[in-house]
């Protein structure tokens, strides 16, 4: 089941979400994914991150849209990619999806990630018929947790020692958050 990207792209006037794959996206991904603060938490991506890795990711993004299993967006500010946000279907039969995001250092602390998460959440819960949107944030990453809370997500608990992060050389706890259709913040 192909998912069609929203047309026009999702935007709140400050942040715009559009599917990855535009000219220049390989360079933007390579530059971003080699930032220490991104690479240390996204420990499942290659490091160093190369143009070949970015092309593989873009192919996977296109495949996710085609198969209806995921939707990955570039987060744009002033038409420039400053981050990424995505939706992965984890239980299609029961309408459960999971969100994930990151933003470059120059976009942090400006509300960019929480704006992007609100846009993605509204689209997923209204347009995609998602019944539960969840996300996991490492408890050692308080900024990611603040993004979820500012976007209206409810912290449900902590998955203790849920993941071994080789780059941090430690097991990490994940805070689990969720947002349901009736809980969408008013814009």
The CATH number of domain 10-182 is 3.40.630.30: yes
Cβ–Cβ under 8 Å, residues 103 and 113? yes
pLDDT in tens, 96-118: 999 999 999 999 999 999 999 99
- Tokens at residue 182, please? 């009736």
pLDDT in tens, 116-174: 999 999 999 988 889 999 999 999 999 999 999 999 999 999 999 999 988 888 999 99
Domain ranges of the chain: 10-182
């Amino acid at each position: 089941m192909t998912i069609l990207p929203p047309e026009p792209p999702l935007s709140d006037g400050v942040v715009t979400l559009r599917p990855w794959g535009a000219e220049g996206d390989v360079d933007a991904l390579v530059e971003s994914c080699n930032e220490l603060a991104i690479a240390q938490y996204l420990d499942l991506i290659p490091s160093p991150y190369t143009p070949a890795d970015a092309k593989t990711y873009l192919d996977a993004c296109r495949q996710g849209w085609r198969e209806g299993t995921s939707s990955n967006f570039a987060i744009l500010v002033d038409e420039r990619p400053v981050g990424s946000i995505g939706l992965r279907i984890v239980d299609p039969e029961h309408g459960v999806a999971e969100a994930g995001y990151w933003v470059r250092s120059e976009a942090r602390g400006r509300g960019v990630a929480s704006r992007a998460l609100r846009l993605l959440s509204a689209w997923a819960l209204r347009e995609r018929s998602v019944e539960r949107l969840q996300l996991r944030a490492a408890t050692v990453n308080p900024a990611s947790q603040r993004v979820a809370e500012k976007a209206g997500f409810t912290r449900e608990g902590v998955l203790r020692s849920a993941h071994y992060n080789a780059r941090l050389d430690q097991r990490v706890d994940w805070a689990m958050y969720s947002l349901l259709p009736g809980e969408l913040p008013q814009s």
